[in-house]
Structure 1
Amino acid sequence: MTTSILEVNSLAKSFGAFQVLQDVKFQVDKGDIVGLLGPNGSGKSTLLNIISGFIAPDRGSVMLDGACISSMSTFRIVKEGLARTFQLPVMPQKMSVLEVAMAADTSMHGVMSTLLNGPSMRRAERATREQAMRLLDELLLTPVSHLPASAISGGQKKLLGIVCALMARPRLLMLDEPTAGVHPNLRQDIVRALHRLNEQGMTLVIVEHDMHFIREACNRCIVLDQGHIVASCKPQELAANERVVQAYLGTTVAEPNRELIAS
């Protein structure tokens, strides 16, 4: 029985004459926390958008637990068990944090037309509320659950984005730069929350360019540069990898400068 939950096979993507991804191949095993990193312009966001169904690849395929999801809609991919967050989550102006979390429950989509009697509807709403409140508590958002989602801090919006993704009950969660622009104290809360999710059985792929965060959060990392995978290794091996050093610093560098990657 295979242990992989995600397989990316020979993905390629161009925008006009610009080749963004070329022959990208990797797999993620169940229970992993994998960091997907690389310098700006390396193709990370395009790869995440292809895997999560927001754009189509020119070539190649994406497999989730053995099923091809390459041609599926984003909603169908979520139903299949893969959810994602966004780097800059935009929250509704007039909904509370709790209401936003409840609205993200994909199991409730279409309930109004399929549950005809009042008690069934109320039970479904109660279950959704309980799930949302549990996740808000796990992600340290209970104290702000009554506030407008647009009024909370940027870091708290990132946490709420994770809650919304988890409301879909995914097996694989992909996060797009979850700590970018976040206060250092809240950053540690996010790291601890991700580790708790992983201990509960969640597989995580974290798109990042911050190597320090990758070392804190991940047990394996994949490095992209100019649309190619240049490394697949443990985080502590990054500074010794010449391809990674060149990708981030542009040239072969003296040993002391490797601290820019190792720190």
Structure 2
Amino acid sequence: MSDPVLTLEGVAKSFGANQVLANVGFRIGQGEVVGLLGPNGCGKSTLLNLVSGIFAPDAGTVVFNGEDITGRSMDRIARKGLVRTFQLPSMPRRMTVAELLYGAAARRAGFRSLFRREVDDRAEVDALLDDLALSHVRHLPAASLSGGQKKLLSIALALRASPEMICLDEPTAGVHPNLRQHMIGLLRRINAARITLLIVEHDMHFIRELCSRCVVMDRGAVIADCRPSELTSNEQVVEAYLGNARQKRAMA
């Protein structure tokens, strides 16, 4: 593994009597694409919330690029270069897609293009809309987009923050299969620009196509850290996530 960009050690979180995370720890190297897997309710989204600053952990540490960011606010963490998307992104009703992207740039200085360098802001937005197949909806209210288009727009907004790492929460859930293939290509290009990706996902084809490693959780704890090709041979993973033998064959 290359030098870690994200390190979790002993992370725990409870909501009342419900312990959602217990002693979670793993590392992600610079430039990796890592899938975060597990059955519903195992703590994946809660973990993203802790990493990105929505919640503070009850115990443990979160280190990003060698700096302890445990318990810091989402805005402060984003300014450090770690941003996230949401499973059900909420978009404003009174701003168009293009206006939202221009506004994202206006909130910080020193933006440089992911796909083109040293261009004006309008050209940058145009390039981003083209690459994410959103040019035809640029003048529509952001809230009027389909679920898949909103997920692409949320990735565009994350890119406008000039991140070093993006955490994505189920980017293909509810997305048309044709758009899923487009998203795989997009995330590969993003990763080629030296952006590290942590992806919560249930689509195993998506995981196999994109991820080099998988961290698997069950009942709030990490039970495996392996390649996608090793998932179906890990009995703990099969029991917790893949389920019965029929599901195992379907994932093979």
| TM-score between both structures, scaled by the size of structure 2 | 0.91
* Map 1:60-79 → 2, pairs under 5 A: 60-79=60-79
Q: Which residue of 2 aligns with 1:198?
A: 191
Unaligned runs of 5+ residues in structure 2 are 110-118
Percent sequence identity over aligned pairs: 53
Residue in structure 2 matched with residue 261 of structure 1 by the alignment: 251
Write the distance in 1 (CA, Å) between the matches of 2:129 and 2:226: 33
Q: Aligned-pair distance for 1:261?
A: 3.3
Unaligned runs of 5+ in 1: 112-125
The normalised TM-score by structure 1 is 0.87
Measured on the aligned residues, the alpha-carbon RMSD in Å equals 1.8
| Residues 36 and 214, structure 2, Cα contact 8 Å, conserved in 1 | yes
Find the structure with the greater CA-based Rg.
1
Give 2:53's aligned residue.
53
Q: Is the 8 A contact 2:50 2:71 kept in 1?
A: no
> What is the aligned residue count?
243
- Per the alignment, do residues 257 and 163 of structure 1 end up closer, same or farther by CA in structure 2, a change over 3 Å counting? closer
CA contact (8 A) 2:37 2:201 kept: yes
The reply on whether 1:24 has 2:24 as its aligned counterpart is yes
Query: Which of the residues 147, 169, 179 maps onto 2:140?
Result: 147
Distance in structure 2 (CA, Å) of the matches to 1:142 and 1:204 = 25
Please give the alpha-carbon distance, in whole angstroms, between the structure 1 residues aligned to 2:172 and 2:247. Answer: 25
- Is the contact made by 1:36 and 1:206 (CA closer than 8 Å) also made in structure 2? yes
Kindly provide the amino acid, as one letter, of the partner of residue 100 in structure 2.
V
CA displacement, residues 147-178 of structure 1 (integer Å, 9 cap, x when unaligned): 22122221111000000011000000111100
Code of the residue aligned with 1:215 in structure 2: it is R
Partner Cα separation in structure 1 for residue 47 and residue 169 of structure 2 = 11
Among 165, 182, 188, the alignment partner of 1:189 is 182
Quick check: 1:159 aligned with 2:152? yes
Shift of 1:249: 5.0
Deviations 1:169-213 (A, max 9, x none): 000011110000000001111111001111121111101122222
**Does the CA contact (< 8 Å) of 2:11 and 2:59 recur in 1?**
yes
Structure 1 Cα separation of the partners of residues 57 and 160 of structure 2: 27
Looking at structure 2, the residues matched to 30 and 201 of structure 1 have their Cα atoms a distance apart, in angstroms, of 8
Structure 2 partner of 1:245: 238
CA distance in 2, matches of 1:101, 1:203: 22
Instruction: Output the amino acid matched with 1:170.
Output: P
